[in-house]
Amino acid sequence: MSLPEKAFPVSWDQFHRDARALAWRLSGLKRDFRAIVCITRGGLVPAAIISRELNIRLIETVCIASYHDYANQGEMMMLKGITEALMSEDGDGVLVVDDLTDTGKTAREVRNLLPKAHFACVYAKPQGVPMIDTFVTEVSQDTWIYFPWDMGFTYQEPIAKGHMG
């Protein structure tokens, strides 16, 4: 397994700030969202923050798994769908939340179910951007984001370590 060239570690504090920034952007849309559908597992944390900030009480999950390594995303598998009540009106008034759009495959699967929903994520890579309506930070396609729930506290090598003479 080869690791990606660029690493982007995100602390809990930074993720919280970025998720709140996403909530600010969404609040500026002047739309009333009746519910959030979060894409699990990554969408759970930003959905909790956004639901608080925008006072959205109805939260649903859609569970899609893609089996992948650091370089390749595999087949998509729906583990849990969305309730019929939220699928009415093709998802109009529904906010779909995820932590990251990478290739856009997961968002595309959910967009097929909720074509009128508003899609938001905290981080986006170029291949996934066309599937998302609102995001906070774009990173390059070859960057691997290390989310705080995936990390422990360990020493990090300086970026320039490999370039020192």
Show me where the domains of the chain are located. Answer: 11-141
Q: Binding residue per annotation — 106?
A: yes
The pLDDT of 2-7, averaged and rounded, is: 71
Residue 92 among the catalytic residues: no
User: Which of 18, 98, 133, 150 is the catalytic position?
Assistant: 98
| 85 band by pLDDT with thresholds 50, 70 and 90 | confident
Task: Kindly tell me if the per-residue pLDDT of 122 is higher than 90.
Answer: yes
Alpha carbon distance 83, 104 (integer Å): 22
Pick the CATH number of 11-141 from 3.40.50.12280, 3.30.750.24, 3.40.50.2020, 3.30.70.260: 3.40.50.2020
Task: Kindly tell me if the per-residue pLDDT of 6 is higher than 60.
Answer: yes
| 76 band by pLDDT with thresholds 50, 70 and 90 | confident
Ranges of beta strands (E only) in 10-112 are 35-40, 59-68, 73-80, 94-101
Sign of the dihedral through C-alpha 40, 85, 116, 29 = negative
The pLDDT of 96-107, averaged and rounded, is: 95
| Burial grade of 2 (CB within 10 A; 0-12, 13-18, 19 or more) | exposed
DSSP 3-state assignment of 82? coil
Task: Kindly tell me if the per-residue pLDDT of 104 is higher than 80.
Answer: yes
Alpha carbon distance 69, 56 (integer Å): 34
Residue 133 among the catalytic residues: no
Q: Binding residue per annotation — 100?
A: yes
